[in-house]
Structure 1
Amino acid sequence: MRLSELSGKEIVDMKRAERLGILGQTDLEIDETTGHIKAFIIPTIKWFGFKRQGTDIRVPWHHIKKIGADMIIIDVHEDPPYANRK
């Protein structure tokens, strides 16, 4: 799958039934040695395209359960669910 095919998909937390963002607004953390995606970094607050003060949500790749036509479903087992905020 190409990155361009992921763009525009909604990221949904299966456990909380919560929309986290759209992948086009999301950064990727990539392992520089292997080129594999390590995590999605989702900004929590956007206002007219400009990022305001807030934390980012880091979703490790292994939490992704399904990539569908319109959305990416994640399942995070940690409590709190997004402990790796930046």
Structure 2
Amino acid sequence: MKLSELSGKEIVDVKRAERLGMLGQTDLEINANTGEIQALLIPTGKWFGFRKQQGEEIRVPWKHIKKIGSDMIIIDMNDEGTV
């Protein structure tokens, strides 16, 4: 999948049944050695219940992404407390 194909997709947390934002409004953390996406970095402006990380953004590790569909990305934030 190309990066351009990800842009504009809604990010939805399946446990909270909430729309969290659009991928175009987020940043990606990319491994410089492999080129793989490590995490989504989402601005915290309208988020509640998650721990804030430095820089006022939420880090969603790639392992929490469960499905990438035609118009949305489903994430499953587990209860391990790492965001």
- TM-score interval, normalised by the smaller of the two chains: 0.7 to 0.9
Relative to the length of structure 2, the TM-score reads 0.81
RMSD between aligned residues:
1.7
**Offset from partner CA, 1:31-81 (integer Å, 9 cap, x none):** 1111110000011228xxxxxxx821111001100000110000011354x
Percent of residue pairs identical: 71
Q: What is the CA distance between 1:18 and its match in structure 2? A: 1.1
Q: Does 1:55 align with 2:75?
A: no
**Count of aligned pairs:** 75
- Taking the aligned partners of 2:69 and 2:57, their CA distance within structure 1 comes to 24
The DSSP-based 3-state class of the residue aligned with 1:35 is: coil
Partner of 1:69: 70
Could you list the runs of 5+ residues in structure 1 that have no partner in the other structure?
47-53
Long gaps (5+) in structure 2: 47-54
Give every structure 1 segment of 4 or more consecutive aligned residues whose post-TM-superposition deviation is greater than 4 Å.
none
